[in-house]
Amino acid sequence: MSQKPKIQYVGQFYIHGSEARQLELQEKKKQAKSKLPLERLRKIEVVYLDPVAIFGIVTALVMLTVMILGVLQLRDDWKEYRVMSNYVSRLNSENAELQADYRSQYDLEDIRIKAQALGMVPKSELEVRTVYVTIPQPEPEMTWLDELQWFLSGLLA
């Protein structure tokens, strides 16, 4: 068997031939120039306002104010309701007392005698009859669809 040749790399022995070398620029040392003090920039704060957000916040505040006013008015209305409820119950009790006083002041027998003298009779002695009345139904009016049918039947007949 034949031996393999040893691989040798050329790179280590490479010499710059016709290849142009790039010049290495030497850094120039800058001379310290006299500098004027720089004016410090004023820090300007810019606030961006979102009109939709502002409108939403204002709407929420208005709604909160209206809701608070509504609660206060509702509270006042409940107070007034309680006062009126007490007033109505007091009037009902006073009305019951006045009716009792009124009924106790007249004599039912005296009223019956006066009514018979005027020709009135007791309800139990009267004959009761029931009368039923049927109201005739009006003829329905023609609708625009009925009028259209009538017109077309007359036109095409």
Q: Is the pLDDT of residue 9 over 80?
A: no
Cα gap 73→66, rounded to integer Å: 10
Provide φ and ψ at 118, rounded to 5°.
Answer: -85, -5
If you count them, how many residues does the chain have? 157
CB half-sphere exposure, 81, CA atoms < 13 A: 6
Q: Please tell me what DSSP assigns to residue 106.
A: S
Cβ 116 vs Cβ 108: under 8 Å: no
Can you give the pLDDT at residue 11? 60
Q: What pTM did the predictor assign?
A: 0.38
pLDDT, tens digit, 9 for 90 and up, residues 11-54: 655 565 656 566 666 666 667 777 777 777 778 888 889 999 99
